[in-house]
Amino acid sequence: MAGYDFAAIEKKWQQYWSDNETFRQPNPGEPNFADRPRMYVLDMFPYPSGAGLHVGHPEGYTATDIMVRYRRMKGFNVLHPMGYDAFGLPAEQYAVEHGVHPRETTERNIANIERQIKMFGFSYDWSRRIATTDPDYYRWTQWIFLQLFNSWYDPQANAARPISELISRLESGQSVVGIGGEVQFNTSDGLTPYFGGPIGTIKFHELSPEHRREIIDSHRLAYMAEVPVNWCPKLGTVLANEEVTNEGRSERGNWPVYRRALKQWMLRITSYADRLLDDLQMLDWPESIKIMQRNWIGRSEGADVDFCIAGSPEIITVYTTRPDTLFGATYMVLAPEHPLVEEITSDAQRDAVREYVRQSAGKSELERTAETKEKTGVFTGAYAVNPVNDERIPVWIADYVMMGYGTGAIMAVPAHDTRDLEFAEQFDLPIIQVVQPPGGTDFRGYVGDGVAVNSGQFDGLETAEFKKKITAWLEQRGLGKAAVNYKLRDWLFSRQRYWGEPFPLVHCEKCGVVPLPEDSLPLELPEMEDFTPASSDDPSAPPSPPLGKMAGWVETTCPACGAPAQRELNTMPQWAGSCWYYLRFLDAKNDKAFVDPEIEKYWMGPREDAPAGGVDLYVGGAEHAVLHLLYARFWHKVLFDLGYVSSPEPFRKLFNQGMIRSFAYRDSRGMNVAYDEVDLREDGAYHRQTGEKLAESVEKMSKSLKNVVNPDEVIGQYGADTFRLYEMFMGPLDASKPWNTRDVPGVYRFLNRVWRMIAGTEDASSLLGETQCDTVERALHKLTKKVGKDIEAMKFNTAIAAMMEFVNLVYGKAGRISPDQAERFVLLLAPLAPHMAEELWQKLGHEETLAYESWPVYDDNMIAAEEATLAVQVNGKVRGRVTVSADASEDAIMEAVLAEAKVASALAGKQIVKQIIVPGRIVNLVVK
RNA sequence: GCCGGAGUGGCGGAAUUGGCAGACGCGCGGGAUUCAAAAUCCCGUUAUGGCAACAUAGUGUGGGUUCGAGUCCCACCUCCGGCACCA
């Protein structure tokens, strides 16, 4: 059919947009910048994998493209950039396996994915394109790392501050160092000048230089610490939790992963726990994502309680959220790794305890947590003294207590804790009720609130009240104090891999860890022939990062003292680059700063109606609900504290597009069958060759299920506009929906109808006619209102349905459309199917792009119906309908209703008890 | 186990937020056009009964509130996503 030649049209307009830089958005201060309302709309930038885009990527990209095209027509300055999150393990692993340099595969993958993205005709400002692997980009990633390194979290200010402030505070004696190395205010300063600081504290200048450095380093936002990590000897690197499968193996390569303590770089995200939690309330995010972040941060309030060990000077502190159940504590459990285990274990129990500790150390995290059915543990032979009643309770060790949370020790209250109950039953330990549940519920395992029993003078108190009382009671006696705990851990920030940002640091024997001067950045990743990590089968083999092999790169001089020094060999994790890319888009070419403050303020600064500031709309998949979004918020807050950005939050509004899944077919042996072997018949799917009936299900797209839909093919067959329209028409943007290629021709037909309506084809003339049809005019006003409203609410499916109805009307009842009406319709279509819209716009006699045409306006008077048809119900059942003028009075309506024959017959012999009239909708008569 | 989200025709979904359930699209059936087909256009399409007008039932299940419930409340079932011995 000659007519709608999508291939030619799409190529032509993509070329036009590119040649004319149609979507380049100048920054404030640049020529052609117009002062208009701003809108920053951002897609989560893709990881350029070798597989390219799947149909899920363009779903979000299409949605944002519609939003920005609409906003441009509404007179906004629109920032809409795209880039690539290109460092990371998959690219590197692929490179290792194929013997190609990761830079090469990365560049190739980026080229391919960009080709794909451009096929869709998205209106990105490509002049702002970035890749996290560009030295010009990661120069600033390194720079931000240095800000983290050179800062500490000041609890008084509740904000990050330059580390120099801490140093001068210590040097002036304003602050002193406590026993544990913690910094505290010198409370006695000025009062007892000759007797030093508070008990147990030391003045800074009294410490050795090494010790001083240690104190400083341990307060930085980026610090090194020995922590338990997921160590994969085969990949030769530590892995983040999400890079480890449920089976305790590496996501990439499926190799064993071991729990092991290694000295690593950490970022002090836990200092921000409360702010990350509290500031969620100022964000326009899906509630479910906020809840996930809250759970991840996992703030809980309770108390630290000190238990003495009988016959030992040791004190064991436990953390509990239920201090009100202290009287029910019948034993205590330490994590096997707890430092006091060795101290308190009795000689009789020593062998058994050591054996248990050894066993649990060998277990992976998975093995420890998977064995949920049966609890294990060993008695240490020691007894603790319950501070509330001086009862002696046995101290056990068990691996259901984790060293990483709270104090690594618990008081066990089997009556009111499910896990403790299980353990107590397993080992026959006493169970004492201390909470009376409301109603007749059994107290055993009751974890809710109730009334205290068996709790001495506290009996009869409600749980909440009891908690307050007992905490105060403990504090008075120095036996404990109120405490807050978080599930959130500090962020393990180093990887022993090649393909990541190098740390801009050197290790100097004399000066310790020394940052590189900022003006020496970027510290470029050295070119290497062999970037393969040291692979091993030995879980205890020492890590040896690939960068260590570049002796010429590693050996350098200390920027502080000039002595020989070594570079840091670790690289940053993949999350680093994505933590701040939205800021670089603002000012992608700036070589003086990561972003110009004025430009940042224009695009992201807080506004009266949006105190959080930040990106106006951020669209991406829910798989980044926690980590990416939490890490980025953390970095942003650090930059905010240090005065580099003006908004407290990076993403004001977040929207998660739903996952696009697709049909998967499986034969009787459970083998997946690819689409080209599936024969779809009326009663189901059959195998083309064997004729066997296949089982159909809807699954996440994956290679192994053979159900991946490739956008290139769909675009080749139907064009980008059809693709875009189909994905938007499938259903609500945030819902998970199955891709069904069979449905694609529906929207393709619609576009063809639009084309023929305005441009005509060889064998059918257009429906353009000079006389304006009033019905069409009214419908068009209604449509304008509807489409605008739906786009703003991101309800594209109903916007498209309304356009289809409009076109059906023009084809059917009206039979014609005036050129002026056609123009307005084209403008409404433009955000959704931009190529066709541009082409039709041109055919209607315009020379310029429609990208900056004004959005059509509607007149509510044209929409208001003159007449309304009301359904008439009798006792809730529709018995007829009446048409009355829109402003009819109730009496007039009732008159019409009673005159309606069907209603009258339904009313025959009955009495109207009540009448409900909903204007413009319904009349309900209640009769007896 | 805990925390979210969702269950509406053969399928994807709509329903102005308590007011005519099934918009729009797919598929299917019928018709027009054609030598024929593709494409296109028109009509029909929740189920049951009826030639029809129409009647009855109907939004996962059971109960409730209301003149009126897909929408609100209570209990339950199923599916999807996340977390998971967090003391």
Q: How far is the CA of A735 from the C1' of B5 (A)?
A: 9
Q: How far is the CA of A819 from the C1' of B36 (A)?
A: 38
Give the torsion through C-alpha atoms of A440, A442, A445, A448, to 10 deg.
10
Q: How far is the CA of A898 from the C1' of B56 (A)?
A: 25
Nearest DNA or RNA nucleotide to A699 (CA to C1'): B80
A735 is near strand B: CB distance < 7 Å = yes
Query: What contacts A585, CB < 8 A, 6 or more positions away?
Result: A42, A79, A81, A83, A128, A130
Architecture of domain A29-144+575-657: 3-Layer(aba) Sandwich (3.40)
Residue A252 has pLDDT above 50, yes or no: yes
Candidates 3.90.740.10, 3.30.9.10, 2.40.50.100, 3.40.720.10; correct CATH number of A300-485? 3.90.740.10
Q: CA A881 → CA A280, A729, A889, distances in Å?
A: 50, 33, 16
Within A 420-439, residues with CB less than 7 Å from strand B? 422
Q: What is the pLDDT of residues A198-244, one digit of tens each?
A: 666 778 877 888 888 888 999 999 999 988 888 888 888 888 777 77
- What is the SS3 assignment for A780-835? HHHHHHHHHHHHHCCCHHHHHHHHHHHHHHHHHHHCCECHHHHHHHHHHHCCCCHH
Q: What is the pLDDT of residues A787-827, one digit of tens each?
A: 999 999 999 999 999 999 999 999 988 888 999 999 999 99
**Out of A165-174, A246-255, A448-457, A836-845, least confident range:** A246-255
Residue A192 has pLDDT above 70, yes or no: no
Radius of gyration for chain A, computed over Cα atoms and rounded to the nearest angstrom: 34
Distance CA A9, CA A543 (A): 56
Query: What contacts A280, CB < 8 A, 6 or more positions away?
Result: A290, A293, A294
Q: How far is the CA of A782 from the C1' of B18 (A)?
A: 25
Structure tokens at A848: 């310029």
Q: How far is the CA of A879 from the C1' of B58 (A)?
A: 18
Q: Tell me what the mean pLDDT of segment A610-618 comes to.
A: 94
Largest CA distance in chain A: 108
Q: Tell me what the mean pLDDT of segment A840-850 comes to.
A: 95
Contact A470, A520 (CB under 8 A): no
Confidence tier at A250 by pLDDT (50, 70, 90): confident
- Check residue A682 and give its pLDDT: 67
Within A 355-374, residues with CB less than 7 Å from strand B? 368-369, 371-372
Task: Name residue, tokens 């619609």.
Answer: A750
The candidate with the shortest Cα–Cα distance to A523, out of A571, A594, A458, is A571
A862 is near strand B: CB distance < 7 Å = no
- Check residue A211 and give its pLDDT: 86
Identify any residues that bridge with A882 across adjacent strands, giving them in sequence order: A870
A749 is near strand B: CB distance < 7 Å = yes
Q: Tell me what the mean pLDDT of segment A852-877 comes to.
A: 87
Confidence tier at A193 by pLDDT (50, 70, 90): very low
Distance CA A638, CA A717 (A): 49
The candidate with the shortest Cα–Cα distance to A747, out of A811, A799, A821, A794, is A799
Distance CA A186, CA A288 (A): 44
Q: What is the pLDDT of residues A691-715, one digit of tens each?
A: 888 888 888 888 888 888 889 999 9
Nearest DNA or RNA nucleotide to A802 (CA to C1'): B24
Confidence tier at A197 by pLDDT (50, 70, 90): low
Nearest DNA or RNA nucleotide to A881 (CA to C1'): B20
Within A 395-424, residues with CB less than 7 Å from strand B? 399-406, 408, 410, 417, 419, 422
Query: What contacts A497, CB < 8 A, 6 or more positions away?
Result: A89, A92, A235, A236, A237, A533, A545, A546, A571
Distance CA A360, CA A353 (A): 11
Q: How far is the CA of A729 from the C1' of B21 (A)?
A: 21
Structure tokens at A68: 């920005």
Give the torsion through C-alpha atoms of A292, A298, A299, A305, to 10 deg.
160
Task: Name residue, tokens 């109950």.
Answer: A421
Give the torsion through C-alpha atoms of A870, A876, A879, A885, to 10 deg.
-10
Closest residue, CA to C1' of B24: A801
A56 is near strand B: CB distance < 7 Å = no
Indicate the fold that domain A865-927 takes in CATH. Ubiquitin-like (UB roll) (3.10.20)
Nucleotides of B under 7 A from a protein CB: 3-5, 11-16, 19-21, 23-28, 39-43, 55-56, 67-69, 80-87
Residue A44 has pLDDT above 80, yes or no: yes
A732 is near strand B: CB distance < 7 Å = yes
Confidence tier at A194 by pLDDT (50, 70, 90): very low
Residue A245 has pLDDT above 80, yes or no: no
Nearest DNA or RNA nucleotide to A3 (CA to C1'): B39
Within A 280-339, residues with CB less than 7 Å from strand B? 287-288, 291-292, 295-296, 298, 300, 302, 319-322, 335
High-pLDDT (> 90) share of chain A, %? 62
Q: Looking at per-residue confidence, does A266 or A765 come out higher?
A: A266
Contact A359, A345 (CB under 8 A): no
Cα of A754 vs its chain's centroid, Å: 39
Cα of A780 vs its chain's centroid, Å: 39
**Out of A111-125, A370-384, A705-719, least confident range:** A370-384
What values do phi and psi take at A279, rounded to 5? -75, -10
Q: How far is the CA of A586 from the C1' of B82 (A)?
A: 33
Q: How far is the CA of A917 from the C1' of B81 (A)?
A: 44
Burial code (b: 16+ CB inside 10 Å, e: under 16) for A396-424 equals bbbbbbbbebbbbbbbbbbbbbebbbbbb
Contact A175, A188 (CB under 8 A): no
Q: How far is the CA of A353 from the C1' of B7 (A)?
A: 52
Distance CA A611, CA A648 (A): 8
Confidence tier at A368 by pLDDT (50, 70, 90): low
Contact A41, A51 (CB under 8 A): no
A601 is near strand B: CB distance < 7 Å = no
Closest residue, CA to C1' of B42: A812
Contact A770, A818 (CB under 8 A): yes
Within A 487-526, residues with CB less than 7 Å from strand B? 487
Query: What contacts A204, CB < 8 A, 6 or more positions away?
Result: A170, A171, A173, A175, A176, A177, A212, A215
Residue A614 has pLDDT above 70, yes or no: yes
Q: How far is the CA of A659 from the C1' of B80 (A)?
A: 11
AA letter at A778: R
Residue A370 has pLDDT above 60, yes or no: no
Q: What is the pLDDT of residues A422-445, one digit of tens each?
A: 999 999 999 999 999 887 778 888
A770 is near strand B: CB distance < 7 Å = no
Nearest DNA or RNA nucleotide to A400 (CA to C1'): B85
- Check residue A199 and give its pLDDT: 67
Confidence tier at A665 by pLDDT (50, 70, 90): confident
Q: How far is the CA of A521 from the C1' of B84 (A)?
A: 43
Q: Where are the domains of chain A?
A: 1-28+718-864, 29-144+575-657, 153-275+491-567, 300-485, 660-708, 865-927
Q: How far is the CA of A287 from the C1' of B5 (A)?
A: 11
Q: Tell me what the mean pLDDT of segment A646-671 comes to.
A: 90
- What is the SS3 assignment for A245-282? CCCCEECCCCCECEEEEEEEEEECHHHHHHHHHHHHHH
Within A 203-262, residues with CB less than 7 Å from strand B? 241-242
Within A 142-161, residues with CB less than 7 Å from strand B? none
Within A 259-278, residues with CB less than 7 Å from strand B? none
Nearest DNA or RNA nucleotide to A325 (CA to C1'): B87
Within A 465-494, residues with CB less than 7 Å from strand B? 485, 487
Q: How far is the CA of A25 from the C1' of B81 (A)?
A: 37
Q: What is the pLDDT of residues A493-529, one digit of tens each?
A: 999 889 999 999 999 999 999 999 999 989 999 988 8
Instruction: Please tell me if the domain spanning A1-28+718-864 has the same topology as the one spanning A300-485.
Output: no
Look at strands A512-515 and A505-508 and give their pairing: antiparallel
Nearest DNA or RNA nucleotide to A736 (CA to C1'): B80
Q: How far is the CA of A229 from the C1' of B53 (A)?
A: 77
Query: How many residues appear in chain A?
Result: 928
Q: What is the pLDDT of residues A58-71, one digit of tens each?
A: 999 999 999 999 99
Q: CA A85 → CA A28, A57, A60, A82, A389, distances in Å?
A: 27, 14, 17, 10, 59
Q: How far is the CA of A353 from the C1' of B70 (A)?
A: 61
Q: How far is the CA of A764 from the C1' of B39 (A)?
A: 12
Residue A164 has pLDDT above 60, yes or no: yes
Within A 800-839, residues with CB less than 7 Å from strand B? 800-801, 804-805, 808, 811-812
CATH superfamily of A1-28+718-864: Isoleucyl-tRNA Synthetase; Domain 1 (1.10.730.10)
Q: What is the pLDDT of residues A331-349, one digit of tens each?
A: 999 999 899 999 999 999 9
Q: How far is the CA of A113 from the C1' of B29 (A)?
A: 44
Q: How far is the CA of A783 from the C1' of B71 (A)?
A: 25
pLDDT, averaged across chain A: 90
- Check residue A1 and give its pLDDT: 41
High-pLDDT (> 70) share of chain A, %? 97
